[in-house]
Structure 1
Amino acid sequence: MRENDLDDMFAEFEADAMTSFRPPGVPAVERRVRDRRRRRGRLLAGVGVLLLAGPAGAFAAGRGVDPGPPVPTPTPTMSPPPTDELLDRKVILPDVSGRLTELRFVDARNGWALFDTCDTPDPGAEDCRRTVGRTADGGVTWRPTAPLPDAKGSGRLLPVDERSLTLTVGDGYLVTTDGGAAWSRHPFGSPPPATQAGSATRSGFLVRCPGRDGLGARGMQCPRGELVRIGSGPVRPQPPVLLTGETDHRVIEGGDGRLWLTVRDKGRLTVLVSDDAAATWRKLPTATRAGAGRLLVSPDGADAWLVTVSESEFSVTAATEVWRLVGGRWEQRPGLPDGTSDVAATNGGVLAVTGAYGTVGFWADGRYVDVPAVTAALRIGADGSPSVEVLRDGTVVVTTGSAQIVGVGSGVTRTWTRFS
């Protein structure tokens, strides 16, 4: 699952609105294919991506208000059985105004959807009618939550799990911790624990400015940040590395409870790991040419990877390099396919990969396997490079526009469903 970086999320929703998934007609498809072929030779492959969205990056904390011990990793439910075909499902809430503007799954069965009548990302927009929907059966059925309080501006979803969700709006946060039965309002300056958990690790770790309740991220308005645990405060002692607004720092936690901290400072990447809930830290050796890389950790915590994408000065291709952590040292593995735009770690030594030209597949020890049905749907139905994340239970989610394609299963054997 990618890291939930709220600063990046605010920048994105202020920059442009989430668009509806509207497949073009046949002439538009043919024209788009021709244009893409003409552009292909000029496009730079291997677009670098950030971990942490989502959905993100650090893995979402379980239950939100009282983080407690790490949440056990559930096993994905596969129903119907795996198939090479792509299933299509519409997210429908009867008698609800507006269009589907955002869709966020937290595992194979549970997800949240936002319907909004506002078409522009205007923080000051008024008279927006919005409804949040929830599924608990993998998107087969959806039901609306309790009515939302009135609020200005377009909304964005920041989920924790099947019960806790924050809806960011133009004037603060709307929060539920009971699956949408009730909502509370909070100002931007005082995010509640459930909102903080949306950008923290499974058991509630995040970096923020000392003495503040902000969500913490790059660009902090303080000389030096600190690692904290929601409900417990700053960890003691602090990790042996500088956490400033000028450094790119990320906290990741897998299902085995190990905590990972990466800090990029002036092109150099430092990776620390803790086996005892941030009480002590061990610095990992630097991988060759890994300064531009980023750390990926599988949902079960068993596998750690460094992935680097570096563009050639004299070519439109990119060198996409991969290292796997084996016995405390980084071992280089065969690179990812040319044109890789996003990558996320699944369990069992497998990476989920999307390409700049709408491809989706899996990589394992240098062998790449395409998912033809998903690739075909992306190449016909949407522009731009799809992103990929892996949820806490190993479910793969490919996102493009306001549509999501969800792969439930394990390894390369999955049932794929497109939701829009």
Structure 2
Amino acid sequence: MRENDLDGMFAEFEADAMTSFRPPGVPVAERRVRDRRRRRLLTGVAALLLAGPAGAFVAAGRGADPDPPAPSPTPSVSPTPTGQLPERKVALPGEPGELADLRFVDARHGWALFDTCGPRDPDATGCRRAVGRTTDGGATWQPTAPLADAKGPASMLPIDDRTLTLMDRDGYLVTTDGGAAWSRHPFSAPPPATQRSTVTRSGFLIRCPGQDSLEGRPCPRRELIRVGSGPVRPQPPVALTEETEHRLVESGDGRLWLTVRDGDRLTVLLSADGAASWRRLPAVAGAGRLLVSPDGADAWLVGVREDGFDVAATKQVWRLVGSRWEQRPGLPDNTSDVAAANGGVLAVTSAYGSAGFWTGGHYVDVPELRAALRDDTDASLSVEVLRDDTVVVSTGSAQIMGVDSGVTRTWTLVS
């Protein structure tokens, strides 16, 4: 599920260049998280990321040999002590640097970025980096074609198991063949593969009129467009102004969900015919986020009130039933992030180093995650649900993946 919030993502990427590219969870109202958040700037959202201005990213790359030597990866699965999660180590033998970014597109396919320079030093030079790719859930990793030395941090925008954009100061470095070759593109001319990372699966996007690049420049009014076709006519029956916050989601069933928040009221518009017509759902006061399950069968609103670095314990939940939002029992007060899975389930992380599920109005803890999550006490937890309903809990540079369905899943730590 991709959301499109151009100005928000533009600002987040400027912060990313100074820190890291791991998407944060929702801030939480307790001292440990406040102190942690004050030590780092907010970072960008996954699957939802958008490039900032060229000066915000620093790295360089070059095209690679079109026929690189075939890699011969070996499984890297760590022994599992009793009571701990099975762990898969991300390893690229012979490649430089440490794991800087890790992103999965489904339970089996993912990308990893290794870098000799730290993510918090935009002025670092001579950085050597490498990208790896997995097709077996992280058990083995294959190196892509080599990249040139660079400077400063970089970030990955994956689309699928074959298509990836690596962003740096000079623009976009793109592969569409699983890393066999890379091509360079400036910020002013993003290629189709990079545009796909900022639009819905059918090519819809909210942006300033006449805007060609992907940079989120300010403008008094925005419009809904479809890449390759131009502005949608007629436009959605709602004001898309700089005073309102808006996001666009396309669920797995092809429906479009457009949210507009004005003050403390969130309005959702729904289109089932490719933006030809829209149905306006009732506005909800206190709602902050729309969550839609990968299959599109379930839609939720979650209430969040922010006060500086803190978030008040307002964890309200509404579920869409027909054309009405019905309020349900709230999330736990210490919730740090939440995402929608299939089957009427919300995946939830806690500010105190745990994760579980909210289902039927009740929280169900997952005890086997506690030890793994609490090992990294200085990392903020975040959670997302991938297109195939895989739940991914991120902590630091590691990810814990939960496959299967509902609240009964098999968990694996990938780091």
Instruction: Assess same fold via TM > 0.5.
Output: yes
Give the 5 Å matches for 1:360-379: 360-379=355-374
Structure 2: segments with no counterpart, 5+ residues: 23-29, 36-41, 51-81
Q: Deviations over 1:370-408 (max 9, x none)?
A: 111112221233324300011111111111111111111
- Specify the SS of the correspondent of 2:317: strand
Structure 2 partner of 1:96: 95
Structure 1 partner of 2:255: 258
In 2, Cα distance between equivalents of 1:321 and 1:51: 25
- Specify the SS of the correspondent of 1:381: coil
In 2, Cα distance between equivalents of 1:311 and 1:52: 18
Give the 5 Å matches for 1:181-220: 181-215=180-214, 220=217
Structure 1 pair 272–84 and aligned structure 2 pair: CA distance change class (3 A) = farther
Give the 5 Å matches for 1:385-404: 385-404=380-399
The one-letter code of the counterpart of 1:332 is: Q
Structure 2 partner of 1:54: 46
Which of 5, 10, 13 is the equivalent residue of 2:13? 10
Q: Deviations over 1:106-147 (max 9, x none)?
A: 000100000011114444543211111000111110001112
**CA-CA distance at 1:237 after TM superposition:** 1.3
The one-letter code of the counterpart of 1:379 is: R
Which of 327, 335, 338 is the equivalent residue of 1:340? 335
Q: Deviations over 1:251-291 (max 9, x none)?
A: 0011100000011123321211100011111110123x33x
Structure 1 partner of 2:322: 327
Structure 2 partner of 1:66: none
Structure 2 partner of 1:154: 153
Structure 1 pair 185–124 and aligned structure 2 pair: CA distance change class (3 A) = farther
Give the 5 Å matches for 1:216-231: 220-231=217-228
In 1, Cα distance between equivalents of 2:111 and 2:33: 39
In 1, Cα distance between equivalents of 2:314 and 2:137: 37
Contact 2:260 2:268 in 1 (8 A): yes
**CA-CA distance at 1:4 after TM superposition:** 6.8
Contact 1:113 1:132 in 2 (8 A): yes
**CA-CA distance at 1:206 after TM superposition:** 1.3
- Specify the SS of the correspondent of 2:314: strand
Give the 5 Å matches for 1:18-417: 39=31, 53-56=45-48, 86-215=85-214, 220-287=217-284, 289-290=285-286, 292-310=287-305, 318-417=313-412
Structure 1 pair 173–87 and aligned structure 2 pair: CA distance change class (3 A) = same
- Specify the SS of the correspondent of 1:256: coil
Q: Deviations over 1:171-195 (max 9, x none)?
A: 2110111111111111112211211
Contact 1:151 1:170 in 2 (8 A): no
In 2, Cα distance between equivalents of 1:305 and 1:392: 17
Structure 1 pair 216–229 and aligned structure 2 pair: CA distance change class (3 A) = farther
**CA-CA distance at 1:347 after TM superposition:** 0.2
Structure 1 pair 369–285 and aligned structure 2 pair: CA distance change class (3 A) = same
TM score, norm. by length of structure 2: 0.81
**CA-CA distance at 1:212 after TM superposition:** 1.9
Contact 1:2 1:344 in 2 (8 A): no
The answer to which of 374-383 and 99-108 deviates more is 374-383
In 2, Cα distance between equivalents of 1:255 and 1:245: 29
Contact 2:145 2:180 in 1 (8 A): yes
In 1, Cα distance between equivalents of 2:4 and 2:148: 24
Contact 1:85 1:416 in 2 (8 A): no
- Specify the SS of the correspondent of 1:198: coil
Q: Deviations over 1:226-254 (max 9, x none)?
A: 11122222211111122233322110011
Contact 1:89 1:419 in 2 (8 A): yes
TM score, norm. by length of structure 1: 0.81
In 1, Cα distance between equivalents of 2:291 and 2:406: 16
